[in-house]
Amino acid sequence: MTRTAIRSTAALSTSALLLAGLVACSSSPSSAGESGAGGQVTITVGDRPTSSDPANRAQYDQKVADFQKANPDIKLNPVETLWDPTTFQAQAAGGQLPDVLNVPFTEPQGMIARKQVADLTKALKDDGLLDELNPSVLKIAQDQSGNVFAVPTAAYSVGLIYNRDLFTKAGLDPDKPPATWDEVRADAKKITAATGQAGYAQMTTNNTGGWMFTTQTYAFGGTIETTDGSKATFDDAPSRAALQALHDMKWVDKLMGQAVLYDIDGISKVFAAGKIGMYMSAPDAYRTLVTTNGLKASAFGIGPMPQQGGDHGTLSGGSVQIVSPTATDAEKAAAIKWIKFAYLNKYVNQDLAVTSAKNGVAAKQPVGVPGLPVVAADQYATYQSWIKPYVNVPLANFAPYTKVAADQKIVPEPPVKAQEVYAALDPVVQTVLGNEKADIPALLTKAAGTVNAKLGR
């Protein structure tokens, strides 16, 4: 991951938090895995923290040692290589990628098309892991025939974060967040009228403007790219309606306040200060808002993504583990064992689940924050029962989200050059919120031309 790819960074940061700090990121080349003498298999595994991060490096190295003790026939070669969109293609072409690497949800489809990842279907079936994964999330890593080319290890779906205290002050029911964008607008007007604060705000900078515009476009029934990522599709009615809704909340209702230039960190700080009623983000925003920025836990609320004109779904993201396309069957099997051990065992092993939860409590970190599970529903429910005694977040405040999000359709991020697309869309959202006379159709047409040029490269 890189700071130049803000959404990928956020997705992979989310992954790290969800996995209780198992991995951190840096970069370094690696060599391909190989089979050693005596039947031992050697594979390289990426995402080892650098020496400048000694605590996480020690935790990672201990995980490697524990795995090798439990699997003496597998030797791991840990390297510091991480996902970086600016170097991945060259590394892949030069055979410089590790056998296992953590990448964001935006990447598998392109990698599948370019034959840069291994088909893991048989290895997953042989291990038994395939049946334990969430089939909805697994679609991110499948081709049109249903073959699986990556293993999801952390996932999120965007919902509507809201301040329960401001809802109460505005005479709104804090247990019933808005379900449509018309209701968002109506509730936001009441919040502004009753409290003087911005009833609604939206991220607009560092690629988050394009990211949230994409989320909103999905909720209005639109798309951003064709399914093969060859052409922009947002120069249409759903995207115009989404931007018009933002324009009207800002300029007609005057409920969005004066500030319009927000990234993830900026909007989190202002929301935690009680100056914003609602904004779009994922459930793990709880960590930043409460643990980092001091929002009262009782004030945090989240509902499902509001829809408009039908049940269209919400944007999903997260991270997956990919395996080198040159991996042998033995190396694929070893890679699956490592992925399961390092990232997923806490969901299927009660002792590990309890240990992870206890460690989270001891570190004064939120334990039990709901999210989009990467394992099947029954298994996730079992996992939640294991950690229930250690949960330290107000689950009732997540209930409006969890009651709906499990069944809400999830829509992946744009399949090709998502970060470049988001960057091209940032100025569109900024202009609509910064200029009352903004020409929405013209802005979308111009942005579509910019994006098509990038997709055609």
Distances (CA, A) of 428 to 139, 205, 210, 445: 30, 11, 8, 10
C-alpha torsion 266→48→22→139, nearest 10: 80
Distances (CA, A) of 11 to 56, 82, 132: 19, 14, 22
Tell me the whole-structure pTM to 2 decimals.
0.81
Query: Do residues 283 and 156 lie in contact, with contact meaning Cβ atoms separated by under 8 Å?
Result: yes
**219: CB partners within 8 A, 6+ apart:** 181, 242, 305, 306, 307, 308, 312, 313, 314
Q: How many CB atoms lie within 10 A of CB 190?
A: 18
What does the pLDDT read at residue 38?
53
What does the pLDDT read at residue 409?
86
The pLDDT profile of the chain, 457 residues, written as one tens digit per residue, is: 333 343 333 433 333 333 333 332 322 333 334 444 457 999 999 999 999 988 888 889 999 999 999 999 999 999 999 988 788 889 999 989 999 999 988 888 889 988 999 999 999 999 999 999 999 889 889 999 999 999 999 888 999 999 999 999 999 999 999 999 999 999 999 999 999 999 999 999 999 999 999 999 999 999 999 988 899 999 999 999 999 999 999 999 999 999 999 999 999 999 999 999 999 999 999 999 999 999 999 999 999 999 999 999 999 888 999 999 999 999 999 999 999 999 998 898 999 999 989 988 998 889 999 888 899 988 999 999 999 999 999 999 999 998 887 678 888 888 888 889 999 999 999 999 999 999 999 999 999 999 999 988 6
Tokens of 217: 């476009």
Distances (CA, A) of 298 to 175, 262, 290, 437: 12, 24, 10, 40
Q: Given the DSSP bridges, would you call strands 41-45 and 74-78 parallel, antiparallel or unpaired?
A: parallel
Q: Tell the burial category of 353 from Cβ atoms under 10 Å away from its Cβ (0-12, 13-18, 19+).
A: buried
R_g of the chain, CA atoms, integer Å? 22
CA distance 239 to 271: 26
Query: Do residues 174 and 301 lie in contact, with contact meaning Cβ atoms separated by under 8 Å?
Result: yes
Query: Do residues 281 and 60 lie in contact, with contact meaning Cβ atoms separated by under 8 Å?
Result: no
CA angle 197, 198, 204 (to 5 degrees): 145
Q: Quick check: helix, strand or coil at residue 141? A: helix
Distances (CA, A) of 303 to 53, 180, 312, 404, 413: 36, 11, 16, 8, 20
Q: Quick check: helix, strand or coil at residue 35? A: strand
Spell out the domains of the chain, with CATH numbers in brackets: 6-156+316-405 (3.40.190.10), 159-281+417-455 (3.40.190.10)
Query: Do residues 31 and 77 lie in contact, with contact meaning Cβ atoms separated by under 8 Å?
Result: yes
Distances (CA, A) of 139 to 146, 148, 231: 8, 8, 21
**442: CB partners within 8 A, 6+ apart:** none
What does the pLDDT read at residue 6?
39
